[in-house]
Structure 1
């Protein structure tokens, strides 16, 4: 079995911080040639302005062209038919107009107004899990008992995925995203995930419910192929629980290690919105998002980029750029402010950002108020060092 690839520099962290070499790169040339986890050479872009430039221009920097270019070195071969199925419905692998067509169908389901309708149910879910933690008593693994199950249940109810299946799909998600697993294992997990979602899609086509899968079948069933439905639902399930879960876990640890700021989030409701934005910026759990292929000879940060070159955007260093915030390496929940690229930027800006924000704005204060003496059990925080989405595998807390 093939060895797990080395973690490339743009995915390396030092606790909450990006690798020091990345900060040095941002202060210097701002761009560097690297080798990705999949064995491909790429340019990594580190400055805020340059990252936004790349993310803003799907004409010069294409998501789809990268997928069409063929498999990366070391990846097992797949048939053209399977490759087409893998890409169908995946918004992260599409450019306009295909991306526009797919996203237009989903955008109404993720508006701030629509998310507000979910707020009472999200509060119920948060309270139910806090009740369970309280009954169980300390110590508790915050990741397993709160950070992971809350967004998992929310996205399951939203999509129409049985929550009873959560252990299986969470295990598959971990295998897909964890670079310490051999590539064959990660590909197997991806196939299993699609097969699982295909069964749910078939059920929704036979009897569409009131959830998002049912809505897509009822309103767009003539416009979407079964493979596209599977691809859309698979992406929403994966992104919908993995990202928010890691923000809840890692964000709580960050606040525990900054007790003065924790107190503000706990005791001053008017600060919660800004605190969530600052935690998103400071932690930047998505290392780079999807790679992009240059479609023409161009230039970024004074560096010539040839057509066909792969470009990766280092979101954590972009969000720690002094051009974006003064004292950017300090966590300061009093400043908040949008404009960061934690959710990406441009046409691929995270579709579920309103939902993620709402879950965090509800989850952090509720947790800290329920357990005002919440404390980290020293030595128990385990970071997801090899994962495509950064976070914690576990964190024991007491109160």
Structure 2
């Protein structure tokens, strides 16, 4: 490894770490609804250059450092994070293979003079294009395979379409950084503000999209964010011959809570119930604030008996809620369930295919079952009637 390579690698690594540091997300972490961490990472700007101009061990080491930095930042699920990191590693290796097996690597590291003929320059541009295409293709294909294993075909196409344009832009900036670094490592830091701007733009778009799909009070999915992944979960289970169970839950006598505790106190009750739903559900379950004091839970790969157990566990947890809520217009704080009547919830259950095969059918059947639970005395779980 010559001095020029060490200098280029040091400046490149420092630029990549500066980019990672200044684009850390400080927002609250929400559980991902797609179950993976395959989002396009703008660190590709630096990794393409590292793959082309640095030893492969250095390039992969930089990848691991940047991904570890990102893991600490976003708190992704370990399996999904490992999958995304492996995908990026294969992309780095693909780009490195193109550079190492052609004159491109010697040109970029100044091992040989840059071509000075029109044909030679065309050859250089073609190899740079092949470098970017190798990285992009490996990333796109492996991401598609991983995404397809966890999402429906429709979800896969939607996710990939939204990611491809961003990936192309990132790769093009990476190729520009690669060329600039070959000219002089001192130019490399000039790409830090470009990378930061792109990352912050992506972060802003994700936050806006996340806010549009979540209830601002509880952080649960709203209908807009819930319906597409719920339909996808139902489609996956149907294709695999599995049951999907839907719970429709409604807080009992919520108007009385608002009258006794005021709207702010009622909001505290709703947030406590939402937190209980999250605690009593599994990672793959989908939770939605349907409206007002109503909630919907989709339990993938869950039959009616299992769904009944989950619903009753939720019902009992809500009944035993013990939270402090301040009485309106007073400094007095009340223990819900001790100083007041207990908080209770009525839940209706419907399961595919017994109660329907479409999402709207199952929700409607669960709503009817919830109404039967209310009519039956509240604070109970009721299964929908088949054929109703």
Instruction: Give TM-score scaled by structure 1 length.
Output: 0.24
Greater relative contact order, per chain length (Cα 8 Å cut-off, separation 6+) = 1
Query: Which structure's residues are more often helix, by fraction?
Result: 2
User: What is the TM-score when the length of structure 2 is the normalising length?
Assistant: 0.25
